[in-house]
Amino acid sequence: MRNEVNLFGCSPAELAEHLARSGQPAFRGGQLFQWMHRHGCMDFAQMTNLPLALRASLASAFRLESLDLHQRQQSSDGSVKYLFRLADGATIEAVYLEMNHGVTLCISSQVGCIQGCSFCLTARMGFVRNLSAAEMVGQVSAIRADRSLEPPFNVVMMGMGEPLLNLANTLRTLEILTHPQGYGLSAKRITVSTSGHVRNLLELGKLAKLPRIAISLNATTDELRDQLMPVNRQWKIAELIAACRSLPLGSGDRLTFEYVLLGGINDTTQDAKRLVSLLGDLSCRVNLIPFNATPELPYRQPDSASLEAFLAILERASLRATVRWSKGRDVGAACGQLATPFQGPSLSQRV
């Protein structure tokens, strides 16, 4: 019979609790955590600093399960899109990216998404379910193993789903990835992206160590944002920006505002000026992301003149802004393109 509890998604404190129930000292939880998340070991039998009897009892009572790497697609720009098949048959995607500032793993937080942003293919899937912390960390673990990657690297929760609608598992994932006995990533290497779920953004703001926070803004008027991002019907731009202002950023820390430029929709000089008015006095940077045109969505990439004029207005106002051309466009791994499961045998079946 399949053991119910998968220890892979447990925090060190939860591991200690599980072990305490069988009379084990708390430090065994730390050892187990280290094996899984520092050494990438998924077999109790190989955890050589645990007593043999403990290894056997763990194996009979618990599961250690990461993710089944189903397929990978290599982009010509060096990024790789991964498809994972979950235990219930659902599929999710994650992306390995080589950026100027190092390797970044873009992971999913949900199967599908309920937020319904009109420029995003994931929205077309609708919402299926939240990912567990084991499934979120599992994406990192599987890509790490596939690429023989060692920390530190960056993790962005910008794949499929709205991480703040899966807050408990997002927080647990942050805890696991930042724990010194595991990956030991600095919170500053992890970015949580949100479409603007204000209530849970304020909850996230209570963390002792804030991750980097990215707000997907994409419009400068409520009228347009209501259309592009239904979340705006609940929390208007002013409320979102007020919540951003209240976040306890450290000195020198900046929020990131993502702005997908949709040709002829939100890329005018008036939009740029309103963006300056909204964000001008915030500690932030703006990522301008030219839309990746796709036949399924009714938008086009902005023309280069509009893009340059938009950027120039932000720069003249000393608003830090960068144009980010999405990577992995040739394999459907670019921003807003994670959605379509591809078919075929899993990698593990083929080897």
37: left (phi over 0), alpha (psi -120 to 50) or beta: alpha
Query: Whole-number minimum distance, CB 203 to ligand SF4, in Å?
Result: 17
- Residue 164 or 319 having the CB closest to ligand SF4: 164
- Residue 106 or 313 having the CB closest to ligand SF4: 106
- Residue 75 or 195 having the CB closest to ligand SF4: 195
Positions in the binding site for ligand SF4 (CB under 6 A):
113, 115-117, 120, 122-123, 160-162, 195, 216, 336
Helical spans, DSSP H, in the chain = 12-21, 27-37, 52-61, 121-124, 133-147, 167-178, 198-204, 222-228, 231-234, 237-246, 269-279, 304-316, 347-350
Query: Whole-number minimum distance, CB 229 to ligand SF4, in Å?
Result: 7
On the CB side of 195, CA atoms within 13 Å amount to: 27
Take residue 227 and report the two structure tokens written for it.
């259309």
Q: 71 Cβ partners below 8 Å, 6+ apart?
A: 82, 83, 342, 344, 346, 347
Query: Whole-number minimum distance, CB 182 to ligand SF4, in Å?
Result: 27
Query: Whole-number minimum distance, CB 331 to ligand SF4, in Å?
Result: 18
- Residue 44 or 119 having the CB closest to ligand SF4: 119
Query: Whole-number minimum distance, CB 197 to ligand SF4, in Å?
Result: 9
- Residue 298 or 344 having the CB closest to ligand SF4: 298
Catalytic (active site) residue 335: yes
Take residue 74 and report the two structure tokens written for it.
């290599």
Neighbour-count burial of 340, counting CB atoms closer than 10 A to its CB (0-12 exposed, 13-18 middle, 19+ buried): middle
CA distances from 304 to 199, 211, 292, 301, 311 (A): 37, 33, 14, 9, 10
Catalytic residues, by residue number, are: 93, 335
